[in-house]
Structure 1
């Protein structure tokens, strides 16, 4: 009996030690971004000469650029589609940007010598709302760039969203679903998002927008990959 207790105690301590030593994400910053300004006569803010950003990631110098085509929409230059391209000694990896989409790329830092990128594409609108169309969490494994998570993964895990809002909490990456809210015919009823997918789902309203739930991406040291869990 004592031997079983010692084995169980040792296993518990091993799990605790593994969790305690897990890599923690610390903060992030924007390294690339552009708006298409849909519904306005403003030019897409992406550069036409494919100039991007160069920075250090995981000890190597990498570059990221938006390689886009453009079209004329009533005198305004708009995004006709292209790719966001990450290049370095670890190779090149590209992510699609569709017509009229905007994009932001964040560099995510950790308490170890390991960085990641979060790439988000979305459709913006003149009223300030937006709809997320793509998301990729990118890093390096075995000397090459890899995609650890993408939008379908967090969606299939249960994330409800029109758009997403990333943040770092307690060493983890939180992808929070957001949506614009609208007032209905009953002025006493609280505002709600329009889509039926939100029916019966609690939302947290703040002004003209709300948050729904969050997909939390955390580093699994044993798997050397990101795990995922849902938080309301």
Structure 2
């Protein structure tokens, strides 16, 4: 998705900056959640299916609450080995309860430290599948609605899951990836391709400002597991603030 139509009258619309966190497992550490939480406004926290263990997820939730960062459940396929980046042909009757399970587990952890799950974002291969796979999209939407129909659902602009969610009455949030390249039709470039990722922090900051000014999406995303995620996060946050934009989450904590 190329962002070209700049809009200079920002109208003080707050910009939400989110990142995928909570993806360490036991002694295996991935990313720097503490550092990322100083830069973002919303945290997509893993739920144990594609990454994360209970103690680590609790630490991330506690830090998010302490810093006033909104917690979202990043639900995925049950695929720890593949980090949730492999498509699984799950039947809707299996996928829906798996999503409910993940939201419930993370919400329970968040509640113990004074937080709540305030939105849902699919992860990895599930996120990409929900662009076109209507059966799985319906399953995810029904799962979210059955837990709490106030929970917003994040997705790629034009994705089937967002259209289905809107018809179901859920709030939908579109997302622009600062550190990912797009195909001409607005899809994410496959991670197996050499040009899939943006690694230049300065370029990422420029993309973030252009996307925010263009109103390209409701939320901007960084990947917390990227090698230079902290450097990139600092550059992006600084770039947005220098451009005169306010940073704020797109949703408040549920009570």
- Same structural fold, with TM-score higher than 0.5 when normalized by the shorter chain: no
Q: Which has the higher strand share?
A: 1
Q: Which has the higher helix share?
A: 2
| TM-score between the two structures when normalised by the length of structure 1 | 0.29
| TM-score between the two structures when normalised by the length of structure 2 | 0.27
